[in-house]
Structure 1
Amino acid sequence: MGYSHHIAHFNTGLKAEEHLIGLLGRHHFLSGFRTYKKALSEITTDVTKQHPSAIDRPAYLDLYNQFGKGESYREFLRGTTLFGVYEPFIPDGIEVNGQTLLMPYQAYTQRYLNDWRYCPRCVEEDIEEGTMPFFRREHQLPAMTLCHKHQERLLVLCKECHQQDKELEKYSYPAGTTCKYCSCDLEPIDSFVNTDILWVQQSMLRLMRGEVEILPLSELKQLYQSQLGITQYCGGFTVSGRNMNQLAQRDFDNYFDPRVFRALFNNCDGNASLKRPPALNLHNVIFKEGVVFSPVVHLLIIRMLFGDIDNIPSVS
């Protein structure tokens, strides 16, 4: 890790809706340097795994030191990254200080979570306004497959020729509906959408915009436990405890259309007897320490138990 101790020259400015890491991609494109690492050498040394889903990372702190205007580090992250969506679900023992890369638990199992997504209509509007197209934060939200503005299906960067974990370094900015390397037509995300998925997407937007508050995570987990009847593993389960846990898990697995799980996760149906992905293990969500479960996981539980974020009761 390394941090900037002076104000570096940027070839572009941070836009109001832009994801903070997207700024680095556009800077690389305009810098004239061939490699992403070289273009960012005076800005940050945190140049690997440039995923939009990172909750915290050294590059964020470096850019906070560059662009912060007196607000706290967390306030800066809320306005420039997806931090506002993840913040309610970060356990108390996990620090957010820009020292290490912090990713959601089992991020690789969630469809499109690490893909840079964009709307072709937004790109057209950027070009019409004389603005270089950029990656919008709203499009990078977990589970987001539709543009919040145009309701069109989002595009992802070309899967035929991109290098694993190097999408942003190679493409720098959203460039329309055709791959600039292999000239293939980019297909919009073709994913199942129903009222539950639309609710998850709208809830993500509300969380990111600070339009809704959720109970502290410890209290939320208490509600999960009391509502579901889940018991904690302590050297083993009683027969009744095991049965209650299995019944709660079965009810959860059967609550949603199976296509919901397959639209949100890429490792469903790994076991013939289960259609849920491993990330939706209720016991782990309630009791596993030291990790940040995706907002998608929490929102699905909230959807089943309470119907809506606004219906979550207080802990008596």
Structure 2
Amino acid sequence: MELSFIPTLFPCEHMLSGVARGLLLTGMKNLEDAQRRFFGKSVPLSPSVLMHSAMQLYMPESLSITGREKFLVNHSLMGFFSHCLRHQKVVAALENNINDRTWPRIPCIEQLTFAQIWRYCPLCVHEDKRQFGTAFWRVSHQLHTSITCDKHLEYRLIDRCCSCNAVTKDLKEYPIPDCKCPQCGAIIEPEIFEHNEVTHWVQNTGLQLLNDAGDLKTPTHRHSMRYGFSGRASYCGLIGWQKIAAAQDDFHCWCLKHRANLYFVPNTIEKKHNVLDLYKMAIYQRKVPPVSLLLGFKFLGVESIEDIE
């Protein structure tokens, strides 16, 4: 059985957003049952799933590796994470050799504020409706490093209803973003957010990782995001666990001062969870999320990710 209607993806639309719109436009009343019928099992249409069985609607087995790469770069978070992932994981994704569709997994996902919740910009919703006739979920809005919209820079990305606190974790429930809460009916207004130097740098660098992915097998900033922190730490004189441990308290205070707690679930920084452990960043760089590495780089005085190459 095949889905009778597959909507064309809009520029910068997340692939799973297109899948959700397709399921909605078929007129099926139970999207979960529909997903199970079409894709074999019901896996949540979540931004935390980098490779999803539902993506096969847009990336069938007959599609070339070059075609798969183009779709993944433009319509998923694989480009953003490709700088950090092991080479064999990226190759497996490109060659469609992944059996577990929740893999590769995002490191420390349970500690990341934005990793499992779909976000949108109210201004983009209105503009997309005028231009395309419908709103949709954009890839750039799901970056864990972004707090505001990349197009409307002073407006915060919305992740929940301000009245009832409802969130969207599965697009089967809310296939299209709306400025009216589907749960309580409250109108969701744009929110102004003022960046500081650190949050502004982290957001811009995160967007750079997304946009500079290029060849997923050898992305532009692969060396920096996989090996650069230990080199930068050594350059700053943090050689050995004792010196790194001595800098740990300063790093946590620095994170709190610059509102880095916004990227993580409550109390993560205060409890000194290893997601912000400098020693772990230096030794096990791939086991911490990109936002942690970017905060560490900025703490060590990095002005541009190109400086680490």
Q: TM-score range by the shorter chain?
A: 0.7 to 0.9
Q: How far apart, in 2, do the equivalents of 1:223 and 1:308 lie?
A: 15
Residue 59 (structure 1) shift? 3.2
SS at match of 1:16: coil
**Residue matched to 1:3:** none
SS at match of 1:170: coil
2:66 corresponds to which of 68, 71, 75: 71
Residue 9 (structure 1) shift? 2.5
SS at match of 1:136: coil
**Residue matched to 1:245:** 244
Q: Is the 8 A contact 1:156 1:186 kept in 2?
A: no
Q: Is the 8 A contact 1:280 1:297 kept in 2?
A: yes
**Residue matched to 1:175:** 178
The reply on whether 1:105 has 2:101 as its aligned counterpart is: no
Q: Is the 8 A contact 2:77 2:143 kept in 1?
A: yes
The reply on whether 1:301 has 2:296 as its aligned counterpart is: yes
Q: How far apart, in 2, do the equivalents of 1:228 and 1:13 lie?
A: 49
**Residue matched to 2:227:** 219
Equivalence map 1:29-68=2 (5 Å):
29-41=24-36, 43-45=38-40, 47-61=42-56, 63-65=58-60, 68=63
Q: How many residues align?
A: 293
Runs of 5+ consecutive residues of structure 1 not aligned to the other structure:
1-5, 232-240
Task: Read off the aligned partner of 1:172 and give its amino acid letter.
Answer: P
Task: Read off the aligned partner of 1:213 and give its amino acid letter.
Answer: T
Q: How far apart, in 2, do the equivalents of 1:31 and 1:125 lie?
A: 25
Q: How far apart, in 2, do the equivalents of 1:37 and 1:183 lie?
A: 23
Q: How far apart, in 1, do the equivalents of 2:279 and 2:209 lie?
A: 25
Residue 62 (structure 1) shift? 5.2
Per the alignment, do residues 150 and 191 of structure 1 end up closer, same or farther by CA in structure 2, a change over 3 Å counting?
closer
Task: Read off the aligned partner of 1:208 and give its amino acid letter.
Answer: L
Residue 254 (structure 1) shift? 3.5
The reply on whether 1:156 has 2:159 as its aligned counterpart is: yes
Percent sequence identity over matched residues?
22
Task: Read off the aligned partner of 1:252 and give its amino acid letter.
Answer: F
SS at match of 1:246: helix
**Residue matched to 1:255:** 254
TM-score under structure 2 length normalisation: 0.80
Q: How far apart, in 2, do the equivalents of 1:210 and 1:13 lie?
A: 24
TM-score under structure 1 length normalisation: 0.79
Residue 257 (structure 1) shift? 4.5
Per the alignment, do residues 285 and 93 of structure 1 end up closer, same or farther by CA in structure 2, a change over 3 Å counting?
farther
Runs of 5+ consecutive residues of structure 2 not aligned to the other structure:
214-218
Equivalence map 1:193-208=2 (5 Å):
193-208=195-210
Q: Is the 8 A contact 1:27 1:39 kept in 2?
A: no
Per the alignment, do residues 283 and 192 of structure 1 end up closer, same or farther by CA in structure 2, a change over 3 Å counting?
farther
Task: Read off the aligned partner of 1:201 and give its amino acid letter.
Answer: Q
Per the alignment, do residues 10 and 69 of structure 1 end up closer, same or farther by CA in structure 2, a change over 3 Å counting?
farther
What are the superposed Cα offsets for residues 62-121 of structure 1, whole Å, 9 maximum, x if unpaired?
Answer: 531189566253443112101111111113464543432122111121112221111111
Q: Is the 8 A contact 2:23 2:31 kept in 1?
A: yes
Residue 222 (structure 1) shift? 4.0
Q: Is the 8 A contact 2:276 2:292 kept in 1?
A: yes
**Residue matched to 1:121:** 123
Q: How far apart, in 1, do the equivalents of 2:49 and 2:196 lie?
A: 27
Residue 183 (structure 1) shift? 0.9
Per the alignment, do residues 121 and 55 of structure 1 end up closer, same or farther by CA in structure 2, a change over 3 Å counting?
same
